[in-house]
Amino acid sequence: MKKYKLMDKFNIHCYKHDGKIHRTWDEAFFLDETDDYLVFANNETMVTERDGRARITKEPAIMFFYKKNWFNVIVQFKERGIYFYCNLATPFIIDNHTIKYIDYDLDLRGFPDGGYKILDRLEYKYHKKQMGYSNEIDVILKYEMGILIKKLKNKENPFDDVIYKHYYNLYQSELKKISNQN
């Protein structure tokens, strides 16, 4: 049984290994829960960096937060096509309607043409030394990156357009219902 209701509002808090807050999002709306992950959506959401700088996201996003895998996936619906931003991070926890996880620097960027790029390798190397990431974390992250790349190449969930379009349409439908009630 699902613990949350469709369109329940959450915050997102991303931390670093040292326990310090790295980035926050002021809203994410719950869409679904499976055995493996929770799905959220947002659009034009305030993102605040550790140093206080803030920005508003420009496009709708569907977010998959995994219960056991060390990554989360953001599907970005940009004018130029569908992009994927995958954070190598701990499995999430939820505390008082706030999604929390530790970000481990490495990211996978997926492009509309099916290509991809691994990002922030130097940041990972620097933080690994500075914050003392263990060899165990290093092994886990390399393994999880392999899973992500395989899923992306094979267009497996959540990179399957049937899956993320379903959630996008659900989100848009719920927004319309809310708008019509006001």
List pLDDT tens digits, range 130-158. Answer: 999 999 999 999 999 999 999 999 999 99
Catalytic (active site) residue 23? yes
Would you state the torsion angle of the CA atoms of residues 32, 67, 112, 14, taken in this order, to the nearest 10 degrees? 100
- Long-range contacts: 55-60, Cβ < 8 Å, 24+? 57/25, 60/168, 60/171, 60/172
Bridge partner list, 38: 33, 65
Band of pLDDT at residue 26, cut at 50, 70 and 90: very high
* Number of other residues whose CB lies within 10 A of the CB of residue 166: 15
Band of pLDDT at residue 2, cut at 50, 70 and 90: low
Q: Look up the CATH architecture of domain 9-181.
A: Beta Barrel (2.40)
> Which one is catalytic: 23, 53, 80, 109?
23
Q: Contact at 8 Å (CB) between 164 and 155?
A: no
Q: What's the chain's length in residues?
A: 182
How far apart, in whole angstroms, are the C-alpha atoms of residue 83 and residue 142? 22
Q: Can you give the pLDDT at residue 10?
A: 98
Taking only the tens place, the pLDDT of each residue in 165-177 is: 999 999 999 999 9
How far apart, in whole angstroms, are the C-alpha atoms of residue 56 and residue 171? 19
Q: Where are the domains of the chain?
A: 9-181
Q: Contact at 8 Å (CB) between 141 and 106?
A: yes
Q: Can you give the pLDDT at residue 3?
A: 86
For residue 14, give the nearest of 4, 28, 2, 3 by alpha carbon.
28
Identity of residue 90: T
How far apart, in whole angstroms, are the C-alpha atoms of residue 46 and residue 56? 5
Q: Contact at 8 Å (CB) between 99 and 10?
A: yes
What is the rounded average pLDDT of the residues 36-61? 97
Q: Contact at 8 Å (CB) between 27 and 47?
A: no
**Secondary structure class of 11 (helix, strand, coil):** strand
